Amino acid sequence: MNRESEADARAGAVFAALADPTRRQLLRAVVEAGPTTATVLSSGLPVTRQAVAKHLGVLRQAGLVCAERAGRETRYRAEPESLRVATSWIAETGAAWDDRLSRLRAQVGSGP
């Protein structure tokens, strides 16, 4: 897999993970709270701790959070790099569209 397709795959995983509103809410909570547990996160949501743990697993697979064992607890911490990859993908795609629109405007403006 080349570097561009790897970045596309990573961005795709981030977009898929963030498509769910509960996961977006969990990621925001992890970012704001710092390292925290599924138990703490579930106390502020209308879902079970098990559901929170599953959502955190998806966020982890997408590289948006990492998990660290501390005794009997697992603490989740935000990992910004995957979000940067997705943001970069959005910026590059937007720039490509802007370039195409500029060329189209130039062609239409230079017509007969």
Q: What is the pLDDT of residue 111?
A: 55
57-85 per-position pLDDT tens digit: 999 999 999 999 989 999 999 998 888 88
For residue 110, the model assigns a pLDDT of 62
Beta carbons within 8 Å of 65's beta carbon, 6+ residues apart = 27, 30, 56, 59, 76, 77, 78, 79
pLDDT of residue 62: 95
Is 48 contained in some domain?
Answer: yes
- Residue 73 resides in a domain: yes
Residue 27 lies in a domain: yes
This prediction has a pTM of 0.79
Low-confidence spans in the chain with pLDDT less than 70: 1, 4, 110-112
Residue 24 lies in a domain: yes
What is residue 112's predicted lDDT score, i.e. its pLDDT? 56
Question: What's the pLDDT at 101?
Answer: 80
Q: Could you tell me what percentage of the chain is helix, strand and coil, using 3-state DSSP and rounding each to the nearest 5?
A: 70, 10, 20
* Residue 55 within a domain: yes
**In 34-79, alpha helices (H):** 38-42, 49-61
Tokens of 58: 């998806």
Strand order, beta sheet including 36-37? 36-37, 73-78, 65-70
Q: Tokens 């925001």 sit at which residue?
A: 28
Whether residue 106 is contained in a domain is answered as: no
The predicted pLDDT at position 1 comes to 63
Integer Cα distance of 81 and 90 in angstroms:
14
Domain span at residue 66 reads 3-86
CATH number of the domain bearing residue 66: 1.10.10.10
Report the domain count for the chain: 1
CB 28 within 8 A of CB 59: no
